[in-house]
Structure formats: structure tokens, C-alpha cells
Structure 1
Amino acid sequence: MSIASCDGVASEILVLPGQPARRTAEVLLIGTQCNFSHNLIAATSQELGHITVAAAPSFHDFRSLAELTHEQPTLLVLDEPTMRGLTKDDRAYLLGLAEVALAVAFCTGAFGRTCYEDEELRQRMISIFPLNCRLDVWLSVIKLVAHGGNYILPEIISPAGIVAPVPATDELGLTRRQHDVLRLVADGQSNKRIASALGLSVHTVKLHLRNANLRLGAHNRTEAAMRYRTLRS
């Protein structure tokens, strides 16, 4: 399955010019061009910097590519029509992507609440936020989720004291995977060895390390390892 840029070349997966040619992007938006326009993709890509962003028109296109290449994005964002249209098999496949963060960009508040009340989705720590919001709000949420956070629009949460789930973090604000990766980096392990030890791809290890660097204010893996040792001692 090929990848094309915005120059008009037909393809199932759309990435922007200037981004590295990858078979699977780190952040993949799945939905119609009406919902995930070229302008929105471009703005999202610019906000996320070195994190590659792409769009696929259907879950079938994403799944076909993932099964062909054995690669997965770090974050999948599905629009409401895509989420509504999932078959039982596709839904099981989606929820089984253990190393992929999931998010639903809903069009209607009622569907957002339905997703929030879905026990399987809540256990999966899926982020839920509106598609039709101000661009600055969209970019803030996407940036948070792309860097390992979790977000659920407060308005879809029941006022009866239910709170939104948050990612499991330690006192340093690191997720479990970021902690695992940093611990092995601090032990002097290479990305390849870390990937093997944790059952991840090297690409996923790099992204977890990048996100951990951001949380610790480190500029590279050596500095991250030093800060991690200091903070954990």
C-alpha cells in the first residue's frame, strides 16, 4: 500500500510533503476528508513537529496497511462515522492494539457520552474529544494525547462525581512504558535491546523516550538517563 503527499497522487494513506516517507505514521487520523481536511492535517503536523502525521479515509485502509507492514502508529484518532461503522471484528482488532493510544473525535455530544460509558473503551483508556472545536483547542488536545496523555471532554462526563480516567503515572509524571524505557536506558541498553526486552518496536521505544525527554526536560538520551538516575535516587 503506497503513501502519497498532498500533490494529488492517489493513495489510501495521506502524509504531508516534507515529512519522512514512512509506511505507518506516528499519529494517524482515520476519517473522511470532510472531518480531517488537508488544512487540519497540516496544522496538526506543524504543532507536533517531528512526530509524523497522516490520514486514512477508512479503518479498512489502516488495517490492511498494518497487517501488510506489521507496523503500527503510536496514536490512532478515529472520527465519529468511522467509530460508528466498525464491525465487531474491527472493534476487537482496534482494542487489541495494546501499544497504540486510541482516541475518538466525536461530532455529537451524545456519541461522545456513549463512548465514555462504554466499559471496554474506558478500560482501554481511550481519549474522547470533539472534532468541531477551535483549532487551538484541537491542537492542544492532540499534543497532549500524542505525548502520552489522556483527555476526555469534561462535558461528557456525568456530573455525579465520575472523573475522567488518567494514564497511570509515577511521581515523575512518567507513564509505565516511559518508566520502563528510561530504566533500561539508564542501564546502558540500546534501543534495539530495549525493544526486544519490552516486546516493542524500535520506533515505539524511540517515541516513548522522546516523550519521556519532554517530561524530564532532557535534550537527549544521555541527559534523560542522568536525570532519571538523579530523580530516582
Structure 2
Amino acid sequence: MNMASCDGVSSEIRTLSGRPARGTAEVLFVGTQCNFSHSLISVTSQELGHITVAAALSFDDFRSLSELTGERPTLLVLDEPTMRGLTEEDRTYLLALNDVALAIAFCTGAFGRACYEDAELRRRAASILPLNIRLDVWLSVIKLVAHGGNYIFPEIMSSAGVAMPAAVPDELGLTQRQQDVLRLVADGQSNKRIALSLGLSVHTVKLHLRNASLRLGAHNRTEAAMRYRALRS
């Protein structure tokens, strides 16, 4: 993968077919075409299978569509140039997206370490990964993060000389949002009521349930909730 950055002209969020996306995908890559090329996004989409993937050239494109439609991805992956270019207002908006998992794909080790030491990114348990890694490793990491896991590139932890932050996923590998959804399912609530209770869309609730089910090896929402409650008791 190309470590270099290049300037892209702002455009709307597009699917792999090149057509404008009607809503935000479940996994959205925001960054230059040099870093997130069509071919990289395509092979990543194939690896993720049923999880929808799209790309945007700028944070403004993502934010404009998000504010217009109210739809947000479950995972937002930003490259280093995008992160560096965020205004204070954009950064505040990004960090306030509590129902969206964050991942930073860095080009330079120094920026990766800076992200790792950033208290606000640590609080959000943002995953931090390099762009210049083998494709098979990239796919494995993105798949892990897309299914609710957390990843920090080991070398930036050792270089920073600080301990690894507490990960958002618990010992079962579930994020806080997944746990919240499972608890409400176990209480007999419908996806619509869960969405209203947590301030999420029904689509996002379903995705959290699907990812939690994969983690727990369950075949449906009821089984996932029962397994979660049994493991927690």
C-alpha cells in the first residue's frame, strides 16, 4: 500500500460501483485515493463479505451526508492526511460520535505514536494501524475492527514507552455498545425499542447484534443474548 499522500478533490461518498451512496455504509474509509485506492477498498469489501463498505475523499463529505441523512457508519477509518487536516470543530464532531468505532491509518510512525498518546482518542479506544503493511495483515486487522475488536499497532506502543490503554471490548471481545444492546435483548426489548433507548438507528442495532453474535458464536439475537447473560452470570 502506498504510504504517500496526495490531494483529492472533494466528492460525495461513493460505493464500489462508483455511484453515489444513498446512505452511509457500515464501514466508511475517509482519505486520499492514494491511501484508500479503489482496488484496496474493493478487496477489503470482498474480505468483509456482507458488511457494506464505501469511501469518501474528505471528512466534509462524510459529515455533510451524516448531518443530512442522520445515518452513520459503524466503523469510520480515517487516514493520516485526513486526521491532520481536521479543524477543531471537525475533531469535536468526530469524538462526539460515540456510536461509531474509530480507526486511524497512519503513514508515519511519529503520527501513529501521537495518536496513541492522544488522551481523547484513547478514551474512544480508537484503533491505530499503519498503512504500509502487507495486504493480508491489513485485511485481518480491518476484519477484526469491523467486527467490534480493537487494534493498536505494537511498535507504536513500545516506541511510546507507555502501557497499553484499557480496551473497550471486554474479556468476551464485545464493545460497550454491543453489551448494551445484548442486555436490552435479554430484557425482551425489540430492535426498535432498543434503538430508541440507545439513540441509535435500527440498522445500527442490527449490526451490533450481528457482530456480537459472531463474537459469541450465536446463530440469532436471542441465542446471543442468552450466551452473553450466561457468561456474565
TM over 0.5: yes
Structure 2 partner of 1:214: 214
Change (3 A) 1:134 1:164: farther
Secondary structure at the counterpart of residue 15 of structure 1: coil
Q: Which moved more, 1:117-126 or 1:57-66?
A: 117-126
TM-score by length of 1: 0.88
Q: Is the 8 A contact 1:74 1:100 kept in 2?
A: yes
Q: Which residues of 2 match residues 25-104 of structure 1 at below 5 A?
A: 25-104=25-104
- The 2-side partners of 1:197 and 1:59 are apart by 28
Please state how far the C-alpha of 1:168 moved relative to its aligned partner: 4.1
Change (3 A) 1:173 1:133: closer
Please state how far the C-alpha of 1:165 moved relative to its aligned partner: 3.7
Structure 1 partner of 2:164: 163
Please state how far the C-alpha of 1:199 moved relative to its aligned partner: 1.9
Change (3 A) 1:231 1:122: closer
- The 1-side partners of 2:128 and 2:229 are apart by 35
Q: Is the 8 A contact 1:213 1:219 kept in 2?
A: yes
Change (3 A) 1:172 1:133: closer
What one-letter code is carried by the residue in structure 2 that aligns with 1:99? D
Secondary structure at the counterpart of residue 14 of structure 2: strand
Change (3 A) 1:190 1:161: same
Aligned length: 222
Secondary structure at the counterpart of residue 121 of structure 2: helix
Identity %: 78
Secondary structure at the counterpart of residue 42 of structure 2: helix
Please state how far the C-alpha of 1:115 moved relative to its aligned partner: 1.1
- The 1-side partners of 2:106 and 2:53 are apart by 19
Task: Provide Cα deviations, 1:127-164, integer angstroms capped at 9, x if missing partner.
Answer: 11101211111111111111111111010114535224
Change (3 A) 1:56 1:196: same
- The 2-side partners of 1:196 and 1:24 are apart by 20
Higher relative contact order (CA 8 A, sep 6+): 2
Q: Which residues of 2 match residues 1-233 of structure 1 at below 5 A?
A: 12-17=12-17, 22-158=22-158, 160-169=161-170, 171-233=171-233
- The 2-side partners of 1:22 and 1:221 are apart by 27
- The 2-side partners of 1:82 and 1:11 are apart by 14
What is the CA RMSD across the aligned residues, in angstroms? 2.1
Structure 2 unpaired stretches of 5+: 1-9
TM-score by length of 2: 0.88
Structure 1 unpaired stretches of 5+: 1-9
Q: Is the 8 A contact 1:150 1:165 kept in 2?
A: no
Task: Provide Cα deviations, 1:165-221, integer angstroms capped at 9, x if missing partner.
Answer: 41141x533322222211222222210011112222111111110111011101112
Change (3 A) 1:141 1:164: farther
Q: Which moved more, 1:146-155 or 1:118-127?
A: 118-127
- The 2-side partners of 1:173 and 1:121 are apart by 19
- The 1-side partners of 2:142 and 2:210 are apart by 16
Q: Is the 8 A contact 2:31 2:79 kept in 1?
A: yes
- The 2-side partners of 1:143 and 1:223 are apart by 23
Q: Is the 8 A contact 1:157 1:164 kept in 2?
A: no
Q: Is the 8 A contact 2:150 2:168 kept in 1?
A: yes
